[in-house]
Each structure stands twice: as structure tokens, then as C-alpha cells.
């Protein structure tokens, strides 16, 4: 059995309360369904020493401080309203600086607009976590999961839910991450891209692909 350790360097502190649990579930399922090797998947470890989004040198410094501790490093940055700027000023320079010499494999995690868009993909998970019976339309959940990427500012409907619930939405992040349907999320292009890049990273590490 192989052992798989991974880390997350996220954009914001609130993301640390959602993404590690979601990425762990996705990683477990990827290993179980896409590869032949039995894998002991460890929890995703959060790496953070700043209360703001780290820049490329700071990301590399964090990885270097933890050299040879993790096999995969997930690095998260929301795409926001300017996808080209995020690609040119963050994703491309990070991939170039990472290079091929590191033992750790880099997997970018780049939700379109904001991470909150992924929360809006699955109305059932939101209802279960929030303990409400509101309809998808009332919560701002689109009819098709992929359409969350067309929401100009996903923080607005998420903030509205928090106010109606009377608690910070971050209080529910872990429960949402544990219950959100991965099959639903795979219909969201940015999440599907993250999973495909994870599969490629594992294959590059020598994991044997299964029959799909």
C-alpha cells in the first residue's frame, strides 16, 4: 500500500475551513476509482504563515520549509473577475518557478470567480448543512451546477444565506465540504479541471491508472 500526504496553501484563512476537507474527499475517491494501487490517503495539511494571500516566492518558501514532507501540494487562488490576470501573474509564474526538480507535485486549485461558487453547486448539501428547507432558487443555487461559474459575485448569495441563518457562513464550511456531492461538483468545469490535474500528478508519481 502506498501512503499519500498532501498539503494546501490557500488564498485566505476562511478557505482553510472548507477546502482541506473537500480536497481530502476528492483525493480519496480519485485514488479509489482511478488507480489500481491501494492508497492510504492522509488528511490534507494546511500550510500558512500569513493572514493574506501569499505571493509566488512565499508559496515556494513554504514548500521549501516543508521539503520532502508532502507528495502533493494544492495551491489555491480564486480566479475572480480577471482570469487572464490570475493566469499571467500567478498560475504561469508559479508553475514556471516550481519546475520539474521538486519531489512534490503541484496541483493548482482555481475556482472560477470565488470558492463560494463551489458551495452553490449543490443545494441539497447546503440545506443539510444549514438545517433549512429553502429551495435552490431561494438560496441562489442555479439549475445546472456548471452555471455557478456565471455568477458574477458568489459571495453575495452566500452572504445572504449567512444573514438569514444568523451565523457566519464559515461556521458551516466543514459540514458543507463533508456533504457536498462530488458528482455534482464534477459538472463545474473548474472543479473538474482540478481533479484532472490531480490525476495527472498522481500518474506522474508512478501511480498505476485503473480501467475507467
Domains in the chain: boundaries: 2-204
pLDDT of residue 211: 61
Q: Check residue 87 and give its pLDDT.
A: 84
Q: How many CB atoms lie under 10 A from the CB of residue 55?
A: 14
Q: How many CB atoms lie within 10 A of CB 107?
A: 23
Residue for grid cell 429551495: 135
Alpha carbon dihedral 149, 152, 158, 164, in 10-degree steps, equals -140
- Give the per-residue pLDDT at 81: 65
- How many residues does the structure list for the chain? 212
pLDDT values of the chain reduced to their tens digit, one per residue, 212 residues: 999 999 999 998 999 999 999 999 999 999 999 999 899 999 999 999 888 889 999 999 999 999 989 999 999 998 876 777 888 888 899 999 998 778 899 999 999 888 999 999 999 999 999 999 999 999 999 999 999 999 999 999 999 999 999 999 999 999 999 999 999 999 999 999 999 999 999 999 999 988 65
pTM for this prediction: 0.93
Q: Are 154 and 120 in contact (CB under 8 A)?
A: yes
Cell digits of residue 208: 498505476
Alpha carbons 24 and 179: distance in angstroms, whole number: 12
Amino acid at each position: 500500500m502506498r501512503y499519500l500526504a498532501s498539503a494546501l496553501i490557500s488564498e485566505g484563512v476562511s478557505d482553510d475551513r472548507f477546502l482541506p476537507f473537500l480536497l481530502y474527499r476528492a483525493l480519496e475517491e480519485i485514488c479509489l476509482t482511478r488507480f489500481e494501487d491501494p492508497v492510504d490517503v492522509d488528511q490534507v495539511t494546511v500550510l500558512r504563515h500569513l493572514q493574506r494571500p501569499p505571493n509566488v516566492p512565499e508559496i515556494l518558501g513554504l514548500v521549501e520549509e516543508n521539503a520532502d514532507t508532502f507528495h502533493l501540494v494544492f495551491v489555491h487562488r480564486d480566479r475572480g473577475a480577471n482570469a487572464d490576470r490570475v493566469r499571467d501573474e500567478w498560475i504561469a509564474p508559479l508553475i514556471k518557478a516550481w519546475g520539474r526538480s521538486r519531489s512534490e507535485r503541484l496541483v493548482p486549485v482555481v475556482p472560477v470567480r470565488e470558492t463560494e461558487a463551489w458551495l452553490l453547486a449543490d443545494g441539497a448539501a447546503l440545506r443539510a448543512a444549514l438545517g433549512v428547507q429553502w429551495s435552490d432558487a431561494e438560496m441562489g443555487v442555479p439549475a445546472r451546477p456548471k452555471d455557478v461559474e456565471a455568477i458574477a459575485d458568489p459571495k453575495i448569495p452566500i452572504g445572504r444565506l449567512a444573514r438569514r441563518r444568523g451565523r457566519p457562513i464559515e461556521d458551516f464550511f466543514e459540514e458543507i465540504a463533508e456533504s457536498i456531492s462530488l458528482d455534482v461538483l464534477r459538472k463545474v468545469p473548474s472543479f473538474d479541471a482540478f481533479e484532472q490535474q490531480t490525476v495527472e500528478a498522481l500518474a506522474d508519481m508512478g501511480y498505476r491508472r485503473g480501467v475507467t
